[in-house]
Amino acid sequence: MFTVLTNCVFMSLKEPAAWSRVLDTLFTAVYTGEAVMKILSRGFCAGRFTFLRDPWNWLDVVVISTGFLTEFVDLGKVSVLKTVPRVLKIIPVIPGLKKTVAALVQSLKGLASALFLVLLCISSLALIGQLLFMGDLKNKCVIWPDMENMTGAPTGISFQESINNTAHQYFLPGRRDALLCGNNSNSGRCPEGYTCLKAGSNPDYGYSSFDSFGWSLLNLMNSWEDLLQRTLRAAGTAYLAVFVLVFFPGCFCVLGLAFGAVASLCREREEAGVAKLRRREDEFALILNAVKRREEEEVRLS
């Protein structure tokens, strides 16, 4: 445990010392020696309690493999991935934490069907958002380009380049993104002299978007306040009903389903534990009665 914690402390240093590479090699040697001793005492794989039959020992294999790989091969920034399994080595050396992780893994196995249902519901909501609002968050208030400059001259710019230029877009004071707008009757309007056109990228450096299934799924788990305001301004206030009747209840129902499944599984595991304890008590009572009867018979015979 001391070795693992010390290794984690040195890995967390912002500016490692020049001798940190030597220390890293030393830690790799310690992990290798530990694995060798386990293999010599328990065997490698031909047996029930051998080295590779314990899933936690696979973590040791990954730690040692990444350690030797980074020693002889320069992986650049990818070499930082070796820190992940080394940090995870804290789990098996702390008995309580190891039991907690094992119980969590067993719970996930029992929650497979519930997790699949949750993923299916969230995917359905993301697909609805994509179909309804794809491309709407790109609607911005821009100055209509002067067509006299669109003659194809070497110094001229195209229509798309002109509207994508942030200098031609309207920004509210203190805002990072251009003002969103829409062409529906109940959507946001542009100031005088500006026209609502699809231009540039989506808000928040392109992250707030319904343009694909993945971005739609990600935004459903993002900040609802900003997403709601932007979507209603770009698509129209009539779509408030979609959020109130579909997205909000759907997400809360999905969360309720997930928590309910976890609570149900915990209750089942608790009941199973109680039943197992009762069976052991009954077995112990039977053994105790048998011992008493045997003692009584011995007393009678004597």
Q: Within this chain, do residues 81 and 140 fall inside the same structural domain, yes or no?
A: no
Q: How far, in Å, CA of 75 to CA of 87, rounded?
A: 19
Residue bearing the bigger pLDDT, 90 or 289: 289
- Asked, for residue 192, whether it belongs to a domain, the answer is yes
Report pTM: 0.57
Mean predicted confidence (pLDDT) in 276-292: 88
Phi, psi (deg, nearest 5) at residue 13: -65, 135
Residue bearing the bigger pLDDT, 5 or 234: 234
Residue bearing the bigger pLDDT, 37 or 92: 37
- Asked, for residue 99, whether it belongs to a domain, the answer is no
Burial annotation 269-295 (CB, 10 A radius, 16+ → b, else e): eeeeeeeeeeeeeeeeeeeeeeeeeee
Q: Within this chain, do residues 159 and 87 fall inside the same structural domain, yes or no?
A: no
Residue bearing the bigger pLDDT, 272 or 20: 272
Summarised one tens digit per residue, pLDDT across range 96-131 is: 677 767 766 776 666 777 778 888 888 888 898 888
- Asked, for residue 37, whether it belongs to a domain, the answer is yes
The average confidence (pLDDT) of the chain is 79
Q: Within this chain, do residues 132 and 37 fall inside the same structural domain, yes or no?
A: no
Is residue 129 within 8 A of residue 208, CB to CB? The reply is no
194, 226, 243 - which closes a domain: 243
Q: Within this chain, do residues 82 and 151 fall inside the same structural domain, yes or no?
A: no
Mean predicted confidence (pLDDT) in 288-302: 84
Q: Within this chain, do residues 132 and 221 fall inside the same structural domain, yes or no?
A: yes
- Asked, for residue 238, whether it belongs to a domain, the answer is yes
- Asked, for residue 157, whether it belongs to a domain, the answer is yes
Q: For residue 193, is it left (φ>0), alpha (ψ between -120 and 50) or beta?
A: left
Q: Within this chain, do residues 168 and 65 fall inside the same structural domain, yes or no?
A: no
Domain total for the chain? 2
Task: Compute, in degrees rounded to 10, the torsion defined by CA atoms 129, 131, 134, 137.
Answer: -40
Q: Within this chain, do residues 202 and 159 fall inside the same structural domain, yes or no?
A: yes
> What's at 183, amino acid-wise?
N
Q: Within this chain, do residues 83 and 183 fall inside the same structural domain, yes or no?
A: no
- Count of H-run helices and E-run strands, the chain: 12, 2
204, 228, 243 - which closes a domain: 243
Is residue 230 within 8 A of residue 135, CB to CB? The reply is no
- Asked, for residue 167, whether it belongs to a domain, the answer is yes
Mean predicted confidence (pLDDT) in 245-260: 81
**Full domain range(s) for residue 74:** 2-93
Q: How far, in Å, CA of 162 to CA of 160, rounded?
A: 5
- Name the strand (E) or helix (H) holding 178: none
- Asked, for residue 290, whether it belongs to a domain, the answer is no
Q: Within this chain, do residues 148 and 57 fall inside the same structural domain, yes or no?
A: no
What residues contact residue 140 under an 8 Å CB cut-off, 6+ apart?
A: 169, 170, 178, 179, 180, 181, 196, 197, 198, 199, 200
Q: Within this chain, do residues 235 and 159 fall inside the same structural domain, yes or no?
A: yes
Q: What is the pLDDT of residue 78?
A: 61
Is residue 158 within 8 A of residue 150, CB to CB? The reply is yes
Q: How far, in Å, CA of 275 to CA of 278, rounded?
A: 5
Q: How confident is the model at residue 29 (pLDDT cuts 50, 70, 90)?
A: confident
Q: Within this chain, do residues 176 and 227 fall inside the same structural domain, yes or no?
A: yes
Q: Within this chain, do residues 135 and 207 fall inside the same structural domain, yes or no?
A: yes
Nearest of 61, 69, 74, 56 to residue 31 by alpha carbon: 61
- Name the strand (E) or helix (H) holding 173: none
Q: How far, in Å, CA of 121 to CA of 253, rounded?
A: 9
225, 243, 261 - which closes a domain: 243
Q: What is the pLDDT of residue 218?
A: 84
- Asked, for residue 118, whether it belongs to a domain, the answer is no
